[in-house]
Amino acid sequence: MKKATNGQSLLGALALSIAGLFTACQSTPTRTAAELKRLQGYWEGEGAGGKCSVSITGTSLHYRTGTGWYKTTFTLPAGTDPQQLHATIKDSSPPTNGIGKVVFAIFKIEDETLTLAEDDMSDKPPKTFPSASSRYNVKKVQPQEKNTEPPKTK
């Protein structure tokens, strides 16, 4: 019988560990996945700049207020309390001076209201909602159902 080298044993152990990790991750839904699912949709309400809307699809977030808008991608770091959202600005209305900037926010969803809070120009999220310099409270808006019946003729 041929003896395995230390490198082969280490590689085998690593492969087994990775396989176990993927198996465990697939079988247990995470809080982050559940929160991501709850965030999906179109939200309207009030923010730091007045009336605003937030549209979330997957990990893309589109924020609009008046004529200003931001398109971002975001992550939800696991194990944070309150839950955090880190949004990287990908595009914005002119002037486009924030592209590449990461906005660190906290969020909660209660009674169909999404509350986002962040500290302007900070490289970390606020610790609490009342301490945040900017807060956004938006309610989920259901999409308008289209009439699927043909118009009635006289």
Note the pLDDT tens digit of each residue in 32-59.
Answer: 899 999 999 999 999 987 999 999 999 9
pTM summary value: 0.72
Answer positive or negative: Cα dihedral of 65, 83, 76, 125.
Answer: positive
Residue 149, pLDDT > 70, answer: no
The residues spanned by each domain of the chain are 32-141
CATH number of the 32-141 domain? 2.40.128
More confident residue, 31 or 136: 136
- Tell the residue number behind the tokens 């592209």, with chain if given: 99
Q: Is 75 exposed, middle or buried (0-12, 13-18, 19+ CB in 10 A)?
A: middle
pLDDT tens sequence across 4-38: 444 443 333 333 333 333 333 443 346 789 999 99
More confident residue, 117 or 9: 117
The pLDDT of residue 152: 57
